[in-house]
C-alpha cells in the first residue's frame, strides 16, 4: 500500500509542477504544434509521458502514458496519441 501512496503523491507533485510550467519535462518530440515530453517521478522508477499545445501553454496538458523506467520506450510513437 505504501508504494501506491508514494506513486499517488509523486503524481500530485507532477500535476502541480506541470500546471505551472508544462515545459518542465524533457522534450522528446514536436509535431503539429504539440510538444511531447517525458518527466521522471523523482526517486520512483516511473516516467510520465505527456503533451501539450505550445501555442496554449496554459491550456490542457494530456497524459499519454505512465511507464516503469525499465519498460521498452523505443516504441513510443507520438502519432498514436493525437
Q: Which residues of 69-82 are buried (b: 16+ CB within 10 A; e: fewer)?
A: eeeeeeebebeeee
Does domain 2-77 fall under CATH 3.30.2310? My reply is yes
54 vs 35: CA distance, rounded Å:
6
pTM of the model: 0.81
Cell of 4: 501506491
Three-state DSSP class for residue 44:
coil
Q: What residue spans define the domains of the chain?
A: 2-77
How many Cβ atoms are within 10 Å of 37's Cβ, its own excluded?
22
Q: What is the pLDDT along the chain (82 residues), one digit of tens a residue?
A: 888 899 999 999 999 999 999 999 999 999 999 999 999 998 899 999 999 999 998 999 999 999 888 876 666 666 665 5
Amino acid at each position: 500500500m505504501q508504494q501506491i501512496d508514494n506513486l499517488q503523491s509523486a503524481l500530485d507533485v507532477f500535476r502541480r509542477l506541470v500546471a505551472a510550467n508544462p515545459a518542465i519535462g524533457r522534450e522528446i518530440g514536436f509535431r503539429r504544434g504539440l510538444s511531447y515530453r517525458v518527466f521522471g517521478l523523482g526517486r520512483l522508477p516511473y516516467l510520465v509521458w505527456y503533451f501539450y499545445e505550445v501555442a496554449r501553454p496554459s491550456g490542457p496538458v494530456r497524459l499519454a502514458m505512465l511507464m516503469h523506467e525499465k519498460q521498452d520506450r523505443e516504441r513510443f510513437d507520438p502519432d498514436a496519441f493525437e
